[in-house]
Structure 1
Amino acid sequence: MQNLVIRGWVLATLMVTISSTPVPHALRSVDTAQMTNLRSREVTTYGETPASRTAYTVVSLFCMSLLTGMIGHRLRQMSLRHFKNLCLTQILILLLYFVSMAFVLSAAVVESGLSLQTHSICRGAIILCLAFYVGSKCIMYLFLVERAHALRAPYMHRTHDWLWMVGVLTIFGGFGTISVCGFIWPLSTISEVDGRCRIGLPQFITIPLLSFDVVVNVLLTLVFVYLLGPLIRSGSRPTLTASRFTQYFGRFCGGGRARDSVNLHQGNQLMVNKIEHLLWKTFIGTCAVLGPTVANMASLTMLKGRELGWVCLTVCTIDVTWTVCIFHWLTLGSHESEERTSNTLVLDSASTHDIFFRHTP
């Protein structure tokens, strides 16, 4: 009996000792890490946060209000007779309005409605952004090519004008090739840590796209200014007074040949003022359009195609709306004749709009 009591006492002592022995620190760390991972997986929610969705909703509503206001203002100035006789430049401007509005509406559905929750929606966001971006740029540069054609060869059919043909082929060939590469290799991921969608394009696409955008914009602007050279050459019209800005561009474009279809009467100071006004608007418009585009593409390049989805859509929405605002300002006239010449200034003996009344090829 005594032996049994001793054995029971020893066994109880061992059990108490084992139960009171502390767990090794390494084992406790592993258990804590596993519990933290499990909790983080349970807490992670996929999609955009309420703050980001609210921010984009405010931006999209503001941009849509601007776009509808601008297109309403333009349509209000156009009569039924204008709709029956729309030229290509006016059609391109109206198309730019509608494409920009379609992009803002589609981006709002993807961001605020679907919240970029799945991989398919996240991938669709970059495809949507790229498609409307390239579409709006093509329309914008077609407008610039048509403006140069109307000033250079208003009576010549477009297919017979080498400048128009080269410009169109360059735009569709360049943007078409780059956009196809973007559609094939887009970057879209949803983080397992925060559940946020990140989209972008690889650097071998963003760098050529940015470079091509800047080069085409600058070249088309220089072509337009060069075609104005015969009208603003310094010294060719001694009776006309011009500002230093106009004289500088006149010397820059001094090699431009005179055209029989352009006739600027001496002493017509009003025409000189219109040329100066057009040059200033062209210069400011080019810089204003390039600014947001360069900033957007530069951010995509620095982030290596991993920009937050709602940030990318917000910047693209602002960029598209800003471009429309600039073109609305560039093409908006103060009266009917200026509205009819929404894309160019070709001067006759008394007015600036006769060439567009005759420009039908």
Structure 2
Amino acid sequence: MYIAVLSFIICSAVMLAGQGLYNYGLCFGATWICLILYTVAKFVIYVFLVERIHVVRAPFVRRSRDWLYLSCLVLMSVSFLAVAINAYLSPIITMEADVGRCHMGIPGKASIPFMSVDIVVDVALTGVFVYLLRPAVKMHGLNKMNHVFKVPKSQMLGVAKELHDTTVRKNIRTLLWKSLIGSLLIMIPTVANMIQFYVMHGRELALVCLALCTIDGK
């Protein structure tokens, strides 16, 4: 994640401050740097969300035998790659030669699906994570769904014993709140960026686009 974000920041700084984006070639290069590194950073975030589900549910089970992990990974990968490829196939790159302004972005047919998938995947993976830690928050009625997720009984007994410790319970609740707040903060910049693309018909000023993508990636 750090490598992807730092690469994006350095490349953006070089293109804006070093090169200036004063011609179409530089504008074209900046657009593809933004698209590729931005989607790589987002994909790494999604993989992290899937990984923490596995760590909570079955940390001592091979990933290849954890059906919930595999299901989340496949569904996330297919949906994300679909919207990412859709964005790659329809980038908008325009250069106002008279004023030397580079505009970049993706059209509404690409930005709306991207935003929708980001929200759905983020909410779904965070929801599964919170559900698996339900003993700490005592969510009534969720125990009826045990058979759906097939949480190992031995694991649940171990969690139940640990939860007698107030400190452990407090730490888990803090973790849940951080996860919920973090998921919200992840979505806000993405939604703002995609709405900006939609309003500007995909012709967003390069400086604004790179700035929003940098904030989103961080």
TM-score, structure 1 normalization: 0.55
Whichever residue aligns with residue 117 of structure 2, its letter is F
Equivalents in 2 of 1:275, 1:294: separation in Å?
29
2:56 equivalent in structure 1: 151
Residue 318 (structure 1) aligned to one of 212, 215, 218: 215
Q: Could you tell me whether the CA contact under 8 Å between 2:23 and 2:97 is conserved in 1?
A: no
Tell me the CA shift for residue 293 of structure 1.
1.4
Q: Residue 170 and residue 120 in structure 1: after superposition, are their counterparts in 2 closer, same or farther (change >3 A)?
A: farther
- Per the TM alignment, residue 286 of structure 1 is displaced from its structure 2 partner at its CA by 1.1
Deviation at 1:303, TM superposition (A): 0.8
Could you tell me how far apart the structure 1 residues matched to 2:51 and 2:164 are? 30
C-alpha distance 194-280 of structure 1, shift in aligned 2 (>3 A): same
2:42–2:217: 8 Å Cα contact kept in structure 1? no
* Aligned residue type for 2:179: T
RMSD value over aligned CA atoms? Answer: 1.7
Aligned 8 A contact 1:110 1:116 in 2: yes
Deviations 1:278-312 (A, max 9, x none): 11111111111111111111111111101101111
| Aligned CA distance change for structure 1 residues 261 and 190 (closer, same or farther; 3 Å) | same
Q: 8 Å contact 2:105–2:203 — kept in the other structure?
A: yes
In the alignment, the residues of structure 1 paired with residue 107 and residue 191 of structure 2 have an alpha-carbon distance, to the nearest angstrom, of: 16
Counterpart of 1:279 in structure 2 is 176
Aligned-pair distance for 1:254? 3.4
2:7 pairs with 102, 121, 128, which one?
102
How many residues are aligned here? 210
Aligned pairs for 1:142-221 (under 5 A) are: 142-221=47-126
1:119 is matched with 24
Query: In 2, distance between residues paired with 1:271 and 1:309?
Result: 47
What does 1:72-91 correspond to in 2, within 5 Å? Answer: none
**What's the CA shift for 1:252?**
5.9
Q: Is the contact made by 1:104 and 1:317 (CA closer than 8 Å) also made in structure 2?
A: yes
SS in 2 for 1:260: helix
**Is 1:306 the equivalent of 2:203?**
yes
**Relative contact order: is structure 1 or structure 2 higher (C-alpha 8 Å, sep ≥ 6)?**
2
Percent identity for Structure 1 against Structure 2: 35
In the alignment, structure 1 residue 253 sits paired with structure 2 residue 132: no
Distance in 2 (alpha carbons) for counterparts of 1:121 and 1:179 = 22
Question: Aligned pair 1:128/2:22, yes or no?
Answer: no
- Give the Cα–Cα distance (whole angstroms) in 1 for the partners of residues 62 and 20 of structure 2: 49
Note closer, same or farther for the CA distance 1:151–1:256 as it changes in structure 2 (3 Å cut).
farther
Partner SS for 2:99: coil
Structure 2 SS opposite 1:116: coil
Query: CA contact under 8 A between 2:103 and 2:205: conserved in structure 1?
Result: yes
Select which of 152, 157, 167 maps to 1:270: 167
Q: Is the 8 A contact 2:92 2:203 kept in 1?
A: yes
**Is the 2:83–2:113 Cα contact (8 Å) retained in structure 1?**
yes
SS at match of 1:198: strand
Equivalent in the alignment of 2:193: 296
Q: Secondary structure at the match of 1:255?
A: helix
Structure 2: stretches of 5+ with no match in the other structure:
none
Q: Distance in 1 between the 2:144 and 2:127 partners?
A: 13
Could you tell me how far apart the structure 1 residues matched to 2:192 and 2:143 are? 34
CA distance in 2, matches of 1:115, 1:255: 59
**How far is the alpha carbon of 1:226 from its aligned partner?**
1.0
**Structure 1 gaps, min length 5:** 1-95, 233-245, 322-361
Larger mean CA deviation between 309-318 and 208-217 belongs to 309-318
Q: Is the 8 A contact 1:145 1:164 kept in 2?
A: yes
Structure 1 or 2, whichever has the larger Rg, is 1
Q: CA deviation at 1:193?
A: 4.0
Q: TM-score, normalised by structure 2?
A: 0.90
SS of the aligned residue for 2:140 comes to helix
Partners in 2 of 1:134 and 1:170 — Cα distance?
17
Q: Is the 8 A contact 1:226 1:256 kept in 2?
A: no
Aligned letter for 1:115? G
The one-letter amino acid of 2:140's match is R
Residue identity matched to 1:310:
L
Q: Between Structure 1 and Structure 2, which shows a larger proportion of helix residues?
A: 2
